[in-house]
Every structure is written in C-alpha cells, then in structure tokens.
C-alpha cells in the first residue's frame, strides 16, 4: 500500500498528511489514489513491454491506480496513465487489461492530448496540475489525501469535457494492436472489453460511463478494430496460467479492501479455498475487526507460499494497524527480504520500526527511508516518517530538512522554503544535507507577491510567530 499497504485508514492518513487535506471516510467504493506494491508490480510487468513496443521510455511513463469501482482509464500530460481499480476487477482476462493499457499508450504515442483544441488543452493542463498534486500526496501512502484533493478539484470535472476524436480513437486502437502484436499478444481482450462496455451502457440507460464519454465508441469502430485484431498472427494467443492467477489475486485483494465485507464473503464463500478467495476473506475479516480470523487466514496463505512478499506484507499491515507494533516488524522484515529494495515495503518496515521506538529501530528506519526516498523522492509519507525518525533521534536540523522535502513533494513551496531555511541555518556547512537545503531554498524561492500574501495571511492567525524571511 501505500507506503503502507493498500488503502490505509483515514485516521492514519490524517496523521500522515496535513490534517486539512483529510476528508471524512470516503464512500466505500470510491477511495482515490491508492498505492500497493503488489498491484503496481503487476501493472508494471504488463505495461512495460507495451511501452517499449511503442518506442517510449519505461522510466518516463507512469501508471497510477485510482480506487474507484467504475471502469475507467485515461492519460494526462507527463505520460501518466491512470487505471481505475474497477477496470482490473471487471476484466475477464489479463489480456483485457493489457488491451486497455495498450490503447491508452496509443493515445500517448499519438500525442493526442497535444493535438486537442486549445480550450480542451488548457482545461487538461489545469486538471493535470490538480491531479499532479493529488498523485504526489497519494504517493505518500496518503491515499485519502490525494483523493480529497482530486475530489475537491473542480478541474477534475473537465475530464468530461475531454473527448478524443473518432480519428484519434481509431489511431489508438490501431496502435494498441500494433503494440500487442509486437509483444506476441492478442488484441481480442480489447474487443471484448469494448463490446461489454457498450452492452452495459445500453442496459444502464441513465448514464454514460465516463470512459465512453472520453473514448467515444461506435459499432464501426469496434468492427474495424476486430478486423485488425484478427489479422494479427497472435490473435489466438491466450493468457498464461500465471497471468490468470495473478489477475485473480489482485482482483481479490481489491475487492477485499474496497467492497463491503458482506459482498466479499458472497463472492468468495468459505467453500472456496483457493488462494484468491482466502486473500479476499483475510482482508474482509480484518476490515470487520476480526483480527484473529484474519490472521488465521493470512497464515494459511503464508504456509502455502512462504516466499510471497505480499502475504507477509498484509500480515504486517494487519498487525501494525491493529496496534501490535512489535509483532508487525518480523512480517514486514520478511516481506522486504523477499522483495528487496521495494520502496513501499521499506517504508512499511520503517514506519513500524519508528513506532517501536528503540534507538536502533529508529536508526534502521532512517537508513531504510533514505533508500526508499531515493527511489520515490515525491513520497510525502516517506518524508513525514523520516522527519519523525530524525526528531526521535534528536537531530532537529535533519528533521526540518525532511519536512522541507515533504512540503516540496506536495508543491507547497512556501512551507518548503521556511523549513529549508531553518534546516540550512542549523546544518553543518558544506555537508550533503546542507547543500540539499540550499538547493531547496533556491528551488522554492517565492515571489514578492507570494511573500506579501503569506505574511498577510499569517498575521491574521492568533499565534502569529514569524514573518516570512526570504
């Protein structure tokens, strides 16, 4: 999850994020941006070959998950692909998920956002900026904070406004088939996805799926896509049993975390002893507060697959979030041994170590976070934990530098500047940290107008303590 595993609870998030960003618990089926090491790894595995086939750089194209059960996928500037968890849950095969990803990559490769009308372009730019901040907050593991920003951003509504032209849709379809063929995969999943969406939409009457609003679908288009798909030498290629099992597991995990437990138990009854079913039930028991039953089930998963890092991670998360800090450390440690240097797992273990609070624990957490934050410098939750760790060790200058980084990561330049200044004044001259504080000061230098506005706002506060010192 997020940094911690999946969908953390609101209270934990509110502690992690600036409190003002937190909403009350979001509706069960709409949870904003989510981080999950396992699902992200699967999406990377499935996307990277397609991104390469498109001639794009796998390190510049980012895939994000939005916790929402409606089927949707879209791209924004900056080569960001967004997939709703609903798209994963509703997919019948891995090939369907890959087909939709390939289509979205087709929009990136065709630079379709760039070619939009000016009005749409500026709307998209505003939206992308708003989403950007949301993403960054979510990268923290502060999933709900990201959700809150997105939900409160009126610009997000402009997604409705964004519509690819028919020519762009046809070109993205053709590109998708090209990328799938280049990687030896069938395009039939894309066809079956579109057919099902069109069918569902006819049944639902009152509403248009957001996906179909931005990606207009016509019967001509599906027919043309189908002809194209059938011409590929790989049209008959089927998904591997491993990919099918993987999809079932991540579907079970998403349902476990996002659906009400009663629904999870209906879909995955006790009589189903498969790994996906037990995975979903373990999470659902946990969500019901039945920690003993949840742990019992997760231990059966670990017994079956002792080397699966994500079962250990889930075990650690359950223990940690239910207050069994000391017991959570071993499972987190094991998950990290099995998925070495996975930043979200490093942050998970570090969080537990900081909560444990011994000097050795906290020092180890600092080392883990330092590594994780090289991989994810935009992860505010990681920086928040790093500031807690340095505070616990009595190193206030480094704590302030971590806080400056946290604000910088979410685009709050004024706070970033203030904390970078404090850190800069305290750190030893010439050290790496001191140089970094200078870089942050330079990067966040506010304009005269920003300083005036800041001071005016701050002076209205009852406990006004310091003016802004550029």
In angstroms, the Cα distances linking 292 to 131, 164, 298, 402 are 39, 50, 10, 37
3-state class (DSSP) for residue 34: strand
In angstroms, the Cα distances linking 206 to 23, 202, 203, 218 are 29, 9, 9, 18
Number of chain positions touching Zn ion (CB under 5 A): 4
Of 124 and 283, CB closest to Zn ion: 124
Interacting residue with Zn ion among 39, 131, 142, 172 (CB under 5 A): 172
Of the ranges 30-38, 154-162, 169-177, 252-260, which one interacts with Zn ion (CB under 5 A)? 169-177
DSSP string, 424-447: HHHSPTTSHHHHHHHHHHHHTPPP
Report in angstroms how near the CB of residue 133 gets to Zn ion at its nearest.
25
Of 169 and 378, CB closest to Zn ion: 169
The whole-angstrom separation of Cα 91 and Cα 192 is 10
Q: Does 347 bind Zn ion (CB under 5 A)?
A: no
Please list, in sequence order, all residues whose beta carbon lies within 8 angstroms of the beta carbon of residue 227, skipping any fewer than 6 positions away. none
Using CB under 5 A as the binding rule, the residues of this chain from 135 to 164 that contact Zn ion are 164
- Tokens in use for 375? 């991989």
Binding mask 7-46 for Zn ion (x = CB under 5 A): ----------------------------------------
The whole-angstrom separation of Cα 67 and Cα 34 is 6
Q: Does 312 bind Zn ion (CB under 5 A)?
A: no
Of 173 and 364, CB closest to Zn ion: 173
Of 75 and 397, CB closest to Zn ion: 75
The whole-angstrom separation of Cα 342 and Cα 153 is 31
Report in angstroms how near the CB of residue 91 gets to Zn ion at its nearest.
17
The whole-angstrom separation of Cα 298 and Cα 254 is 16
Interacting residue with Zn ion among 80, 215, 287, 424 (CB under 5 A): 215
Report in angstroms how near the CB of residue 172 gets to Zn ion at its nearest.
5
Report in angstroms how near the CB of residue 119 gets to Zn ion at its nearest.
19
Q: Which residues bind Zn ion (CB under 5 A)?
A: 164, 169, 172, 215
């Amino acid at each position: 999850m997020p940094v911690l595993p999946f969908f953390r609870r609101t209270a934990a998030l509110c502690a992690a994020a600036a409190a003002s960003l937190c909403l009350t618990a979001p509706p069960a089926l709409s949870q904003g941006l989510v981080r999950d090491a396992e699902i992200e790894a699967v999406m990377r595995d499935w996307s990277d070959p397609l991104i390469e086939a498109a001639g794009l750089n796998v390190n510049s194209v980012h895939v994000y998950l939005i916790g929402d059960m409606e089927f949707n996928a879209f791209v924004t500037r900056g080569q960001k692909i967004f997939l709703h968890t609903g798209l994963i849950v509703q997919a019948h095969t891995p090939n369907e998920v890959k087909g939709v990803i390939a289509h979205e990559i087709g929009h990136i490769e065709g630079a379709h956002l760039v070619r939009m009308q000016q009005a749409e372009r500026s709307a998209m730019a505003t939206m992308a900026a708003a989403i950007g901040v949301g993403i960054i907050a979510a990268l923290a593991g502060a999933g709900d904070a990201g959700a809150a920003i997105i939900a409160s951003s009126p610009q997000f509504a402009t997604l409705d406004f964004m519509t690819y032209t028919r020519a762009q849709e046809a070109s993205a379809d053709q590109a998708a088939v090209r990328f799938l063929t280049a990687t030896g995969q069938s395009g039939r999943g894309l066809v079956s996805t579109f057919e099902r969406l069109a069918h569902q939409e006819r049944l639902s009457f009152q509403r248009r799926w957001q996906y179909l609003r931005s990606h207009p679908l016509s019967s001509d288009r599906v027919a043309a896509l189908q002809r194209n798909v059938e011409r590929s030498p790989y049209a008959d290629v089927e998904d591997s049993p491993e990919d099918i099992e993987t999809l079932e597991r991540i579907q079970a995990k998403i349902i476990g975390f996002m659906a009400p437990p009663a629904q999870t138990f209906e879909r995955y009854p006790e009589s189903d002893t498969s790994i996906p079913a037990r995975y979903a039930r373990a999470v659902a028991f946990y969500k019901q507060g039945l920690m003993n039953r949840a742990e019992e089930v997760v231990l059966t998963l670990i017994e079956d697959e002792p080397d699966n890092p994500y079962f250990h991670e889930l075990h650690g998360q359950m223990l940690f979030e239910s207050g069994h800090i000391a017991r959570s450390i071993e499972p987190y440690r094991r998950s990290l041994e099995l998925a070495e240097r996975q930043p979200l797992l490093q942050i998970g273990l570090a969080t537990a170590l900081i909560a444990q609070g011994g000097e050795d624990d906290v020092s180890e957490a600092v080392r883990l976070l330092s590594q994780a934050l090289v991989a994810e410098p935009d992860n505010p939750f990681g920086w928040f934990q790093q500031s807690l760790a340095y505070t616990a060790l009595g190193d206030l200058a480094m704590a302030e530098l971590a806080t400056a980084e946290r604000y910088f990561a979410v685009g709050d330049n004024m706070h970033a500047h203030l904390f970078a200044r404090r850190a800069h004044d305290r750190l030893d001259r010439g050290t790496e940290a001191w140089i970094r504080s200078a870089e942050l000061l330079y990067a966040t230098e506010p304009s005269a107008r920003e300083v005036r506005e800041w001071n005016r706002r701050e002076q209205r506060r009852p406990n006004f303590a310091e003016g802004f010192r550029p």
